[in-house]
Amino acid sequence: MEKASETSKAIGTWAVTPISRVWQGLKVFESEDVDPSKFAIENMKGIKRSVRSRGRVVGHRFGVGSDTLLSYQDARIRIYLPTYKFVLDNHLTEEIDQLRTILAERDLVLLDYETNADIRDLSKPLSHASLVGRCTPMAACES
């Protein structure tokens, strides 16, 4: 049996893997708490929760039913990165292996629309390409 990770404890009994589902579902607004219905969205339609009708984002809950409200930076470190690593380690191992095979033979450049590789830089979204390099299986997602 797998050892429960901090992320799986945070998510509780919800079977969630897509990162956007977790991130959007645990987001807390001034006038609205978590929205577990986001965990079930499979086509990404209606995944975003905007500030227009809900007020400003006040943080992310550290799990459904948790009293712990994380800052944006803490949520990146305690929810986003572990969830990202979980997806890479458990759902994208073949793709990561293909990238490693290519890298063993020649240089490899991952292109991304976002360029922010610093998880502490909250002014811009994170680069997925940098996270793939940082969070590959068997490595920790260093913060």
pLDDT bin (cut points 50, 70, 90) of residue 142 is low
**Cα–Cα distance between 11 and 20 in angstroms, integer?**
13
pLDDT bin (cut points 50, 70, 90) of residue 136 is low
The model's pTM: 0.78
* pLDDT number for residue 138: 52
Q: Are 69 and 59 in contact (CB under 8 A)?
A: yes
Mean pLDDT of the chain: 82
SS3 70: strand
Higher-pLDDT residue of 51, 143 = 51
Token code pair at residue 81? 């990165």
Q: What is the largest CA-CA distance in the chain?
A: 52
Least confident of 1-5, 24-28, 41-45, 61-65: 1-5
**pLDDT over 90 (residue 96):** no
- Element containing residue 68 per DSSP (H, E): none
Burial call 116-140: b when 16+ CB within 10 Å, e when fewer = eeebeeeeeebbebbbbebbbeeee
* pLDDT number for residue 139: 58
In the Cβ-directed half-sphere of 39, how many Cα atoms lie within 13 Å? 15
Burial bucket for residue 90 (CB in 10 Å: 0-12, 13-18, 19+) = exposed
Burial bucket for residue 26 (CB in 10 Å: 0-12, 13-18, 19+) = buried
Q: Are strands 57-61 and 27-29 parallel, antiparallel or unpaired?
A: antiparallel
* pLDDT number for residue 39: 86
* pLDDT number for residue 6: 46
**pLDDT over 80 (residue 103):** yes
pLDDT in tens, 45-54: 788 888 888 9
Least confident of 15-19, 65-69, 111-115, 126-130: 15-19
